[in-house]
């Protein structure tokens, strides 16, 4: 993006930047020579972009039948983060998306999954199933002991309300872990490309 456009945000830049590179560099602390004020403004820009991505309507005609399809709707929100965040897909009886939303923003090694908040929203939305996801900034998607325990806890809570936890996906930059599939997988580029073209 041209520096003139970015400077309308008060960034005071002297050269053109690719916005995604600028945001990624600011997230990961790679911007030398930037003032605290500039970094704060980039943080606000990053938050605005994230809120926009979450608000984009998702296709309500696509049934989420596997982890590949779920990651299509979740990966763009969590790729390249230097901290953990968690998101959820609330699904209809036919596994189509009712709503996608961010649950929490955490630190470098964990984020909170609040079962009560998840169940309350599911009831209000009339959801029949959910898929939760969070990222691992370390690029290792294998679940921690805490991930396993929180998934089992949420599964029990959902069962009490006849709600189905369809999957918990841990997203890393180059691969993901699906609790449902019980394995680490590389992203299916064909699925991502086909859905992006639809």
Q: Are strands 164-171 and 129-135 parallel, antiparallel or unpaired?
A: parallel
Same domain, 45 and 85: no
Show which of 53, 71, 88 is a domain's final residue: 53
Range of the domain at 126: 59-197
Rounded CA-CA distance 38/156 in Å is: 45
Same domain, 83 and 14: no
Sequence-separated (6 or more) residues with CB below 8 Å from residue 162 = none
**What radius of gyration, in Å, describes the C-alpha atoms of the chain?**
18
Global pTM value: 0.70
Rounded CA-CA distance 151/176 in Å is: 16
Same domain, 24 and 100: no
Query: Per-residue confidence of the chain (198 residues) as pLDDT tens digits?
Result: 677 777 777 777 777 776 666 665 665 555 667 777 877 777 777 777 666 665 655 666 778 888 888 988 888 888 878 899 999 999 999 999 999 999 999 888 888 889 999 999 999 999 999 999 999 998 899 999 999 999 999 999 999 999 999 999 999 988 899 999 888 877 665 555 554 454
Same domain, 85 and 143: yes
């Amino acid at each position: 993006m041209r520096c003139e456009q970015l400077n309308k945000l008060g960034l005071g830049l002297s050269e053109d930047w690719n916005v995604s590179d600028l945001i990624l560099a600011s997230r990961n602390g790679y911007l030398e020579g930037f003032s605290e004020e500039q970094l704060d403004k980039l943080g606000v820009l990053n938050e605005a972009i994230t809120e926009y991505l979450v608000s984009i309507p998702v296709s309500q005609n696509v049934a989420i039948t596997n982890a590949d399809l779920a990651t299509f709707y979740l990966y763009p929100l969590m790729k390249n983060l230097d901290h953990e965040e968690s998101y959820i897909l609330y699904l209809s009886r036919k596994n189509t998306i009712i709503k996608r939303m961010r649950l929490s923003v955490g630190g470098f090694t964990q984020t909170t999954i609040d079962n009560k908040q998840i169940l309350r929203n599911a009831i209000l939305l009339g959801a029949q199933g959910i898929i939760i996801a969070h990222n691992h900034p370390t690029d290792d998607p294998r679940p921690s002991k805490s991930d396993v325990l929180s998934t089992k806890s949420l599964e029990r809570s959902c069962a009490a309300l006849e709600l189905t936890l369809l999957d918990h996906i841990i997203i890393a930059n180059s691969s993901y872990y699906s609790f449902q599939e019980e394995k680490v997988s590389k992203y299916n580029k064909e699925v991502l490309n086909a859905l992006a073209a639809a």
